[in-house]
């Protein structure tokens, strides 16, 4: 059965800390891995990863994929209170029409 | 640019009543369309996806149904709501092998 597992489930840090969020997957015919940020509304797209070892970067956020070990990490440096959200990992597999989501990591950044 | 609309934003319905949630996409043709449900504190559960008009794939057997009467319109329905149908319903679109983008969501509370 295809699945996506995220860890930790929940995380509380102080502003300025660096955090690493993990996503491991077992999905048939992997095509891509996506990271989303969800505040109190719909998820917003962060990164799409298709190749191993190539880091995607956007400001203080970065992500990398390891297709051999079947996982990805999302790094956030110098965290701010606005980074507080649930971070979702999704893997696109099979026919290219299906996306499998993890349960998310809830990040809280306190001042 | 592409946009995705969902309505209503919030809905409170009694148990046993019917449901109709609508999703429309603008700025793209022949998108893949998806309905997800997110229960409180949980990940995204794929309910239905559609690769074209009249083509619906169901991921989870339940009392919900979906229809795609037009290329950029996706409707989620129920004849009789259950308490367990409460949740945050998200519509999403993608093109083949592309990133998935979410609509603003509908919060449904069944009482």
- A3-105: CATH topology is Immunoglobulin-like (2.60.40)
> How large a percentage of chain B has pLDDT more than 70?
96
Q: Between B57, B100, B103, which is nearest A99 by CB?
A: B100
Fold of B3-110: Immunoglobulin-like (2.60.40)
pLDDT for res A98: 77
As a whole number of angstroms, the distance between CA B22 and CA B3 comes to 14
Q: What is the pLDDT of residue B41?
A: 67
User: Is the CB of residue B9 less than 8 Å away from at least one CB of chain A?
Assistant: no
Q: Are B73 and B24 in contact (CB under 8 A)?
A: yes
Residues of chain A with pLDDT under 50: none
Task: Inform me whether the pLDDT recorded for B76 exceeds 80.
Answer: yes
Locate the domains of chain A by residue range: 3-105
On chain B, the residues whose CB falls within 8 A of the CB of A99 are 34, 46, 92, 94, 100
Phi and psi based region of residue A67 (left: phi greater than 0; alpha: psi -120 to 50; beta: remaining)? alpha
- Which tens digits make up the pLDDT trace of B55-66? 998 877 678 999
Domain positions in chain B? 3-110
């Amino acid at each position: 059965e295809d699945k996506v597992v995220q860890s930790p489930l929940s995380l509380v840090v102080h502003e300025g800390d660096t955090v690493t969020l993990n996503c491991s997957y077992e999905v048939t015919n992997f095509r891509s891995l996506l990271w989303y940020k969800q505040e109190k509304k719909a998820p917003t797209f962060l990164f799409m990863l298709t190749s191993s070892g190539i880091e995607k970067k956007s400001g203080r956020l970065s992500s990398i994929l390891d297709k051999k070990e079947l996982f990805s990490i999302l790094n956030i440096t110098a965290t701010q209170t606005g980074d507080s959200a649930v971070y979702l990992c999704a893997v696109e597999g099979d026919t290219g029409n299906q996306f499998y989501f993890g349960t998310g990591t809830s990040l809280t950044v306190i001042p | 640019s592409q946009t995705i609309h969902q309505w209503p934003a919030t809905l409170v319905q009694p148990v046993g009543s019917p449901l109709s949630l609508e999703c429309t996409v603008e700025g793209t043709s022949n998108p893949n369309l998806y309905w997800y449900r997110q229960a409180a504190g949980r990940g995204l559960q794929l309910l239905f996806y559609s690769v074209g008009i009249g083509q619906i794939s169901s991921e989870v057997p339940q009392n919900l149904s979906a229809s795609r009467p037009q290329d950029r319109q996706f409707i989620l329905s129920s004849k009789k709501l259950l308490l367990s149908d409460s949740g945050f319903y998200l519509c999403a679109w993608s093109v083949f092998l592309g990133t998935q983008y979410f609509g603003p969501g509908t919060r449904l509370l069944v009482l």
